[in-house]
A and B are shown apart, each in its own frame.
Chain A
Amino acid sequence: MNPVLVPTNDVNSEHGILVMWFAEDGAEVEKDELLAEVETSKAVLEVLAPVAGVLLHAAAKGTEVPLSQPIAQLFPDSAARDAFVAAQVAAPVISGPRATVKAQQRAAELGVDLGMLGLDRLITVKDVEAAVAPVATPADLPAPLPGAPGRQRILIIGAALGATQVLDILAGSTTQQAVAIVDDDATRWGAFVHGVPVVGGSGLLSDLFGAGAFDAAVIAIGRSPAVRARFRALCDAAGVPLANAIDPTAKIATDVTIGRGNIVCAFCHIATGVQVGDNNFFSAYNSFDHHSVIGSDNASGPSVVTSGKVTIGSRIRFGTGIYIEPDVVIGDDAAIASGAVIVSSVPAEHAVKTKIVTTTVVPLRR
């Protein structure tokens, strides 16, 4: 489908009068064929077909048309035109329940059918959560593993792929052991991830900790700083301490301070004098050079590399393969796209976007 626009750079006119159609609705037209005349305050403009195709008028003769909108559409054949017209007619009929994006996600997680809520207003997460009866914890859910004596027993929050990364780190540990996983997606309950049971939802945190089932928690969510921050607040409220999970291949230099709840994946490098806050998720091959300062609740992809004396705020999402020059300051809640080379500071609540240059693969010339 190709839009037919009125060719004008007349800044004084917002709209014009469609004086005449020279091609009937549904007609087959050639490229550059005269389709219509539109009169603005300054001139009568001829509108030509930008491509060949089957015409669908979007405005009637004699009506006023905004110059920013197409006056017609061109389709490759009449079947495509008919299908478009049919879809236009059908479109208003299929108005299902309106729900926010978060409510739709929550409904999918909890298995709630939004149509069954019977609400004719905007459905929010609150509505979705109110619709599910409080899930009684089934009696047959697995209990946390006992844990070996002398090891810190870790409860992992989140049973998706982040959990497998944390379990892999702990597999190489002689001081920590994963004993349980919690996840708010009830469909995961009762499953085992690399031999560790998913014992229920995050609502169990307080009870399990009170019962002495684990010593500290790790938030195994690698994507969303906001979700990491939310679960950290939940742990704080429940009095549950967070533990660091640091891969044995990571190089932690002297004179480094690290808070709690950080996940440091394989081959990371934290250089001398670096200060790290709480609850960060550093993917593999991250390198923070000397005397950099890092806040809390950040989430990074692999190969985020800083030079020395870089300051990184909190709740920042880093993509993959990012280089950061010395003394750069990255503000809270920023988002950095993959492949960025950051040469100057990024203010809080800003996104760094990159142009992706794809490599073209062509056959060899002989």
Chain B
Amino acid sequence: MIFAKELGDTLRGALADDGRVVLLGEDIADPYGGAFKVTRGLSTAFPARVRTTPISEGAIAGISAGLALAGYRPIAEVMFGDFLTLMFDQVVNHITKYQTMYAGQATCPVIIRAATGGHRGYGPTHSQSLEKHFLGVPHLRVVAASLYHDPRVVFADFLGRDEPVLYVEHKLLYPQHLALPVNGMVGDLIASSSGMLPTVRLSAVPREDCTVSVLAYGYQAHLAAKVVERLAMEEEIFAELIVPAQIAPMDWEPVLSSVASTGSLVTVEEGADGWSWGAEAASVVSRGLFGRLRRPVDVVASSPTIIPSSKTKEAAVLVGSAQIEAAIRRAS
């Protein structure tokens, strides 16, 4: 159940089930099969509908927009999410606007898949988590891959709706095994979920015994789950981890109901600190639960600077287990 392979199988299923699905992106065709091997084998099976493009994220966005307007279901791969910036204009001014501008007479359901995140020593322009710049763009859904969400469910949702979506895939998730809830458990953690694209909640003990809520997505959710489990086993510091798939617009209900019980919230994201997802969470939670918080919301994010290539220096900039653990200890 390796995530990259499951995601590839999901795309294979989408291509097989729906003749409108088209994959495009840099180097996604065989034999290379994409920088992270997600699309390996797909161009051999569907040569007409899996196309390698020139190195131009602008062109990929434009072609995808055109295909979507013409009734296709384009799924565009962005080899490095850092270059989503080259798509920004077309996402903000075109892809997300058509449906409302033309009163529903046109739809533009582009799915953009972007490999994001660091901890690989790829340096300042191939390691970033830039999704925060796309949060709050009207009519754009931003969804984050995690080990707790089945990509089949996620893509069934994408393809079942007419809205554009940005799907961010942290690079370090690709080689990991999925950890989907089975019989209400993920490993040794109690799991429950709610919503269409479910928000997954993980904790070592029932919520009533948790003294802090932790909100995280993507790879950081995986790191946070390990910290939550270790702190529970070794020190009886009990936290409830909340992992949404869709990070914008957010369904805040699971967060608010958890924090109403624990009285304390830590948010975790790998993007640069300030003007961030966690800052929005802090705002929403302080509005909704003013007077019921035991302490201020703690926003854990990476240092607002460039990401160094040296792995040692990179580790000092990017959020890792140590920062998550320190924050949970403070907030418990």
Contacts and interface: CB of A to CB of B under 8 A. Distances in A.
Contacts of A126: 209
Contacts of B122: 11
Contacts of B33: 41
**Residue picked from B32, B174, B175, B330, most chain A C-beta under 10 Å:** B175
B234 A124 contact: no
Interface in B203-224: 204-205, 209
B120 A41 contact: no
Interface string A60-94: 00001011100000000000000000000000000
Contacts of B4: 14-15
B2 A15 contact: yes
Contact of B236 (A13, A64, A68, A103): A103
**Residue picked from A101, A122, A349, most chain B C-beta under 10 Å:** A122
B5 A124 contact: no
A68 to B, nearest CB: 7
A11 B232 contact: no
B62 interface: no
B37 A98 contact: no
Interface in B15-39: 32-33, 35-37
A11 B121 contact: yes
A98 B190 CA distance: 13
B236 A124 contact: yes
Contact of A122 (B35, B36, B120, B232): B232
B121 A68 contact: no
Contacts of A193: none
A14 B115 CA distance: 13
B301 to A, nearest CB: 19
Contact of A101 (B35, B233, B326): B233
Interface in B36-51: 36-37
Given A14-B174, A15-B37, A124-B205, A349 B326 contact: yes
Contacts of A100: 232-236
Interface in A90-128: 98, 100-103, 121-122, 124-126
A319 B122 CA distance: 40
Interface string A116-160: 000001101110000000000000000000000000000000000
B329 interface: yes
Interface residues on A, range: 20 to 34
Nearest to B229: A122
Contact of A15 (B120, B175, B233, B236): B175
Given A64-B2, A66-B2, A66-B175, A11 B236 contact: no
A349 B205 contact: no
A359 interface: no
A254 interface: no
A349 B205 CA distance: 25
Contacts of B232: 100, 122
A101 B233 CA distance: 6
Interface residues of B, number: 26
A12 interface: yes
A66 B188 CA distance: 24
Contacts of A124: 205, 209, 236
A249 B190 CA distance: 56
Given A14-B37, A68-B175, A122 B235 contact: no
B215 to A, nearest CB: 22
Nearest to B33: A41
B236 A14 contact: no
Contacts of A64: 2, 5
A66 to B, nearest CB: 5
A323 to B, nearest CB: 27
Interface string A1-33: 000000000011111000000000000000000
A122 B2 contact: no
Contacts of B236: 100, 102-103, 124-125
B207 to A, nearest CB: 13
A13 B233 CA distance: 34
Nearest to B177: A66
B204 A122 contact: yes
A333 to B, nearest CB: 9
Contacts of B36: 12, 14
A64 B236 CA distance: 38
A98 B37 CA distance: 38
A11 B172 CA distance: 12
A122 B205 contact: yes
A13 B37 contact: yes
Given A11-B120, A15-B37, A66-B175, A102 B32 contact: no
B226 to A, nearest CB: 15
A345 to B, nearest CB: 17
Contacts of B120: 11
A13 B5 CA distance: 13
B33 to A, nearest CB: 7
A122 B188 contact: yes
Contacts of B205: 121-122, 124
- Nearest 5 pairs of A and B residues by beta carbon: A14-B175, A66-B175, A102-B236, A101-B234, A122-B204
20 contacts: A11-B120, A11-B122, A12-B35, A15-B4, A15-B37, A15-B175, A64-B5, A66-B175, A100-B232, A100-B233, A100-B235, A101-B233, A121-B190, A122-B232, A124-B205, A124-B209, A125-B236, A126-B209, A349-B326, A349-B330
Given A66-B2, A100-B234, A101-B235, 8 more contacts: A11-B120, A15-B2, A67-B175, A68-B175, A121-B205, A122-B188, A349-B329, A349-B330
